[in-house]
Amino acid sequence: MKIIYSDALIVGGGLAGLRSAIATKEKGLDTIVLSMVPVKRSHSAAAQGGMQAALANSVMGEGDNEDVHFADTVKGSDWGCDQEVARMFVATAPKAIRELANWGVPWSRISAGERTVIMNGQKEIIKEAQEAHGLINARDFGGTKKWRTCYTSDATGHTMLYAVANEALRRNVIIHDRKEAISIIHDEKKAIGVIARDLVNGELIAYVAKGTMIATGGYGRIYKQSTNAIICKGIGTAIALETGVATLGNMEAVQFHPTPIVPSAILLTEGCRGDGGVLRDKDGYRFMPDYEPEKKELASRDVVSRRMIQHIRAGKGVPSPYGEHLWLDISILGRKHIEKNLRDVQDIAKTFNGIDPADEGQKGWMPVLPMQHYSMGGIRIKPTGESTTLAGLFAAGEAACWDLHGFNRLGGNSVSEAVVSGMIVGEHFATYCKETHLNTNTCIIAEFIKKQSNYLNEILAYNGKENIFDIKDEMRSIMQEEVGIFRNEEGLQRAVKRLEELLIMTKQINVKSKIRGNNPELNEAYRVPKMLKIALCVAKGALERRESRGAHYREDYIKRDDLNWLKRTITRWEDPEATTPTISYEELDIAKMELPPAFRGYGRKDSIIEHPKSMERSQEIEAFKAANPQMDRFELQEQLMPFELPLDYKKKNQRIGVEYA
């Protein structure tokens, strides 16, 4: 029996996991990071367009601060997020950007003086201040009031991941790659590590630690068409669910990005539209201003994706052998801009489609269609990052439902959350690991290894007629067809029923190679049932949520229903033999919100069932502000919705022109 002990165990080597590892090393803790792939291959590297943080360096960011970023994030979430977490996030994000600059992220910097930009399809001239020269630049993104998304061309995730990974190596974080966590070791009350499978030789290893963190990213690969990397299967989320104790939050909240390229589903960044690119239909017509007069192509992702499908349904899609699509036109930005700031986009379009998007006119238009992109749902945690129900289990980044994004994440808030949660949750996790003593015996550990070993043998002994690849394909098609951008009761019922059948069928397969070592088919055989459990949480959550909110859109319940549905979906899988999760809800309390529910400013205006408390709270806040004219924005905020942050992350952020105001 191989047991490896550490103080802090982190599963997942992307931005969230590695930044958390730096936090635990900072406290002198022995830290191990497990990763399925070399950590610099993690999906964080694929983030293109940028990271949101209210620095307000650029003239287009003037007046930006934590309050504006907070409001954008809450509206983006369609009031589904935890506002206290959103506050923690926006206060820390500027510090995260600056820390990353110190660790070597070569952020694009501002040149003082005039430059030409494209806004609303027109050339405009903006003038950057002398005092902003050399400071971190930002571009426009969807659903934001200010230009707030900091970037390194369109390879932002790559430079961030490398900086954080290099810093983690400098601090001697121990990295074990090609290890897949397949079970969490726990005693119903407390998590004390994981059973991991060595993907090189199949060996099972017990990693035992004072605290365990899951930072394994999203579950996009349960969909047929996803921008996500091959590894984003949600296995880390699934093993938390399989404890029967930890819960998942808002699993039905799945984001569809407006502009992956057809047919390869590779992402073309929102920066394309942020920098001035537009969407066109089969007639070459720019249609978004008709639907969204104010934000146009830069409404939130859920809204733009729905409008695009709506426009295709109206007969305006471009026919192709891969189905209908629309066009993304960035040629209007000019070759110079594209080859500097959107070079990966150009490279992707050239390599995979033979299109140079810098070519003028229709020749350069890229075929795009909304596809799965991000998982707002994940392991339900407290603001500290610890599971609400299983002590010692922490989660950060996309794997978690912290819950920063509610029912729709803003572009640029994902890598931002990954790093910021790595700082905040990482710090709480480190404190937990420091203060906790490992109190277990090797019997429990042996039991968990034995159980997984038996399970793998059981899989190899299956002697049925089904094929695990067919089951996986069907799951992905069902999710695509029935649990996609537009959802309804009948389709969701069909989805849940068939997914349950598929879950049962995973035990009726026959794995050809019987070796326990490096056996790719065996990997599929234990991963697919886990993916199906995640898919069932998404489908059942979507079926039960009879309203439309953010990315969750019900054709049969088209309104956002604050009266009945201002709550978070909680799924749990108590009985391992069950074929569906149990669902409960966590109420969101309007009386405690700093920003009570209202119209987002984009999307359909007439589609909210209001809660009377929204108006009450709104009036209460206005009255409080009027009664306390002497308070500055920080004092007001503190009174309306207090929040806490570890270390000195709550310190005010300095900005040019306004200093610490």
Partner 1 sequence: MHRIYEDGGREIVLTIFRHDPNNEDSIPHFQDYPIIERPGMTLYIALTQIYTSMDHDVSFDFVCRAGICGSCAMVVNGKPRLACRTLTSEFSEGKITLLPLPTFQHIKDLSVDTGTFMNAMTKQVEGWIVNNSPQDISTIEKPVEPELSDEIFELDRCIECGICLASCATKVMRPNFVGAVGLNRVARFSLDPHDSRSDEEFYELIGDDEGIFGCMSLMGCQDHCPKHLPLQKQIAYMRNKMVKVR
The closest of 142, 67, 60 to 602, measured between CA atoms, is: 142
Tell which positions 178-197 bind partner 1, by CB under 8 A.
178
Give min distance, CB of 352 to partner 1, in A.
7
Which of 79, 107, 374, 573 lies at the binding interface for partner 1 (CB under 8 A)? 107
Q: Binding pattern to partner 1, positions 230-259, x when CB under 8 A?
A: xx----------------------------
State yes or no: residue 123 binds partner 1 (CB under 8 A): no
Minimum CB separation of residue 262 from partner 1 in Å reads: 9
344 vs 547, beta carbon nearer partner 1: 344
Please give the Cα distance from 389 to 537 (Å, whole number). Answer: 18
Residues 76-105 touching partner 1, rule: CB under 8 A, are 94-99, 101-104
Q: What 3 state SS string does 519-539 have? A: CHHHHHHHHHHHHHHHHHHHH
Cβ 354 to partner 1, closest distance in Å? 4
Q: Is 148 in the site for partner 1 (CB under 8 A)?
A: no
- 22-51 positions binding partner 1, by CB under 8 A: 37-43, 45-46
| Least distance between partner 1 and beta carbon 265 (Å) | 9
Question: For residue 175, what are the β-bridge partners?
Answer: 33
Catalytic residue among 19, 221, 257, 428: 257
Measure the CA–CA gap between 284 and 341, rounded to whole angstroms.
Answer: 24
340-343, Cβ contacts within 8 angstroms, sequence gap of 24 or more: 340/153, 341/108, 341/139, 341/151, 341/153, 341/154, 341/271, 341/275, 342/153, 342/154, 342/269, 342/271, 342/272, 342/275, 343/153, 343/154, 343/155
Q: Pick the closer one to partner 1 by CB: 353 or 431.
A: 353
Site residues for partner 1, 271-300, by CB under 8 A, read: none
Q: Interface residues for partner 1 in 403-422 (CB under 8 A)?
A: none
Give the SS3 label for residue 575: coil
Token pair in block for residue 256 = 């569809």
Ranges within 540-599 binding partner 1 (CB under 8 A): none
Spot the catalytic one: 43, 69, 139, 273: 273
Q: Is 257 part of the annotated catalytic residue set?
A: yes
Q: In this chain, which of 2, 109, 507, 633 binds partner 1, going by CB under 8 A?
A: 109
Closest distance of CB 55 from partner 1, Å: 8
273 a catalytic residue = yes
For partner 1, which is the closer residue by CB, 13 or 412?
Answer: 13
Quote the tokens at residue 129: 């201040």
Nearer to partner 1, 163 or 532 (CB): 163
Residues 151-170, interacting with partner 1 (CB under 8 A): 152-153, 155, 158-159, 162-163, 166-167, 169-170
DSSP letters spanning 110-162: PPSEEEEEEETTEEEEEEE-GGGTTSBP-B--TT-SS--EE-STT-HHHHHHH
Applying CB under 8 A, which of residues 121, 263, 289, 601 lies at the interface with partner 1? 263
Binding mask 365-384 for partner 1 (x = CB under 8 A): --x-----------------
Residue 244: left (phi > 0), alpha (psi -120 to 50), or beta? left
Binders of partner 1 in range 336-355 (CB under 8 A): 340, 344, 347-348, 351-355
Distance of CA 300 to the CA centre of its chain: 14
Neighbours of 437 (CB within 10 A): 6
Collapsing DSSP states into helix, strand and coil, what is residue 4? strand
User: Nearest-CA neighbor of 230 among 520, 452, 566?
Assistant: 520
63 binds partner 1 (CB under 8 A): no
Residues between 601 and 660 with contacts to partner 1, criterion CB under 8 A = 648, 651-656
**Phi/psi of residue 644, each to 5°?**
-125, 150
Of 451-510, binders to partner 1 (CB under 8 A) are 469
The answer to whether 29 touches 435, Cβ cutoff 8 Å, is: no
Enumerate the active-site residues: 257, 273
